[in-house]
């Protein structure tokens, strides 16, 4: 399953890169792209674990940038 999510208050390209790398390490993630310019995250994960992966991705993003919000 592949979905795109809007990110609110993503402040810098370096943080976007850190978020992308952190999310890619989550088991079940096939691919992740965090784009600073569009303020969006594209997440691709196995269908069976997508919701669980998304919850973990939101937590990882909060660790990198606490003010950033994933619009679900």
Pairwise CA distance, residues 39 & 12, whole Å: 10
Angle between helices 13-24 and 50-64 (to 10 degrees): 140
Alpha helices in the chain (DSSP H): 13-24, 50-64
**For residue 22, what pLDDT is reported?**
98
Question: Residue 17 maps to which CATH number?
Answer: 3.30.70.100
Q: How far is CA 9 from the centre of its chain?
A: 13
For the chain, 72 residues long, give each residue's pLDDT as a single digit of tens: 999 999 999 999 999 999 999 999 999 999 999 999 999 999 999 999 999 999 999 999 999 999 999 999
> Which residues, 6+ apart, have CB-to-CB distance to 55 below 8 Å?
none
Pairwise CA distance, residues 32 & 4, whole Å: 10
**For residue 30, what pLDDT is reported?**
98
- 50: containing domain: 2-71
């Amino acid at each position: 399953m592949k979905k795109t999510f809007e990110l609110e208050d993503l402040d810098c390209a370096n943080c976007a890169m850190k978020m992308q790398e952190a999310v890619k390490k989550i088991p079940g993630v096939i691919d992740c792209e965090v784009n600073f310019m569009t303020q969006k995250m594209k997440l691709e994960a196995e269908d069976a674990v997508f919701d669980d992966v998304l919850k973990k991705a939101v937590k990882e993003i909060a660790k990198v940038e606490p003010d950033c919000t994933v619009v679900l």
